[in-house]
């Protein structure tokens, strides 16, 4: 049986100008929220118009508009394998985007929008002083396709290579979107989460590429031309992910972990032994390589360390 609708009371026109007992005069939106609440609200209002949803094939990601002419910063794995993507603004405007540069190691990509009329809202880039462990951070993106989703947390760690770690909730679809400081400046490009299993979800360990690395990438590639018509007919060739480890071929024990690699990101160490991928036992490094060359969106690595076994869930 359908539940009855809840009807709101109707105020008679004869009562206009009368303040009934127990009611107070309305207050402005600015005075309804204080302190941290007001900061959060202002960051979202300032930044969200410059955050976009990126559709590449069947996958969804996020991005940040960094120039009024339509240059978008996102993650390399968001657009991997595509020259052309669809970009949707917070207002619902649809653009064709052309991938003009990628950096797989740092997981960065630049997309140029086609057919932009007028000037688009943009996100400012933070400098080094705007990135400090312990500061409040804010993430905006399209997790699971829910555009404009806003989460908050703190900057938990800055790795020796400059990569950022946060406890702000980041989920599939947030990839490529902005991590912001309380001034609404972009401090990082959301990249991945660490989770102990496929059903565990976000446990408060997310990663972003620092804007300091992104600045160099942008400066080097922002004037790249869009693909020619011949290039647009065929997507770029890709080599798939590489994990960034040297393995003993007999035991699948890690001998070395490359700096700035995916393996370093997820905390693998020399001496760890790789047992399985997605529950399927590994017997040779070629099996792992073949799996990674299929460019998965996620995987579960079963790892043995000092007599203990754990599953590490990785979303790209």
Q: Which residues are catalytic?
A: 77, 107, 175
CA angle 69, 71, 74 (to 5 degrees): 155
Residue 207 CA: distances (Å) to CA of 170, 202, 265: 9, 12, 8
Residues near 14 by beta carbon (within 8 Å), at least 6 away in sequence: none
**H helix and E strand count, the chain:** 7, 18
CA angle 65, 70, 43 (to 5 degrees): 25
Q: Strand 273-277 vs strand 298-305: parallel, antiparallel, or unpaired?
A: antiparallel
d(C-alpha 77, C-alpha 238), whole Å: 11
Reduced to 3 states (helix: H, G, I; strand: E, B; else coil), residue 135 is coil
Selection from 315, 43, 316, 313 nearest residue 178 by Cα:
43
Selection from 126, 124, 157, 154 nearest residue 139 by Cα:
154
Rounded to the nearest angstrom, the gap between the alpha carbon of residue 90 and the centroid of all alpha carbons in its chain is 16
Residues near 109 by beta carbon (within 8 Å), at least 6 away in sequence: 73, 74, 75, 76, 78, 79, 99, 101, 102, 103, 176
How far from each other are the two terminal CA atoms of the chain, in whole angstroms? 44
| Phi, psi (rounded to 5 degrees) for 138 | -140, 135
């Amino acid at each position: 049986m359908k539940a009855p609708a809840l009807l709101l009371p109707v105020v008679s026109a004869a009562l206009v100008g009368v303040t009934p007992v127990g009611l107070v005069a309305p207050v402005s939106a600015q005075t309804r929220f204080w302190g941290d609440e007001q900061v959060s609200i202002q960051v979202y209002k300032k930044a969200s118009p410059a955050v976009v949803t990126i559709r590449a094939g069947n996958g969804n990601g996020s991005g940040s508009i960094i120039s009024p002419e339509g240059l978008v910063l996102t993650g390399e794995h968001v657009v991997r394998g595509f020259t052309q993507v669809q970009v949707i603004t917070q207002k619902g405007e649809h653009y064709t985007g052309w991938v003009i540069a990628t950096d797989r190691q740092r997981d960065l990509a630049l997309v140029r929008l086609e057919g932009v009329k007028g000037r688009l809202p943009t996100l400012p880039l933070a400098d080094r002083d705007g990135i400090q462990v312990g500061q409040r951070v804010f993430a905006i993106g399209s997790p699971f396709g829910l555009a404009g989703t806003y989460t908050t947390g703190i900057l938990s760690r800055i790795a020796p290579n400059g990569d950022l770690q946060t406890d702000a909730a980041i989920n599939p679809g947030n990839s490529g979107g902005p991590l912001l400081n309380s001034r609404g400046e972009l401090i990082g490009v959301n990249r991945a989460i660490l989770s102990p299993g496929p059903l565990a979800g976000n446990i408060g360990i997310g990663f972003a590429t620092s804007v300091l690395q992104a600045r160099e990438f942008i400066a080097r590639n922002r004037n790249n031309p869009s693909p020619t018509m011949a290039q647009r007919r065929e997507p770029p060739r890709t080599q798939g992910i590489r994990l960034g480890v040297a393995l003993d071929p007999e035991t699948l024990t890690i001998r070395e972990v490359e700096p700035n690699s995916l393996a370093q990101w997820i905390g693998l160490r020399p001496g760890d032994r790789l047992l399985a991928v997605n529950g399927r036992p590994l017997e040779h490094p070629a099996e792992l390589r073949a799996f990674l060359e299929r460019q998965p969106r996620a995987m579960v690595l079963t790892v043995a360390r000092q007599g203990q076994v754990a599953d590490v869930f990785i979303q790209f």
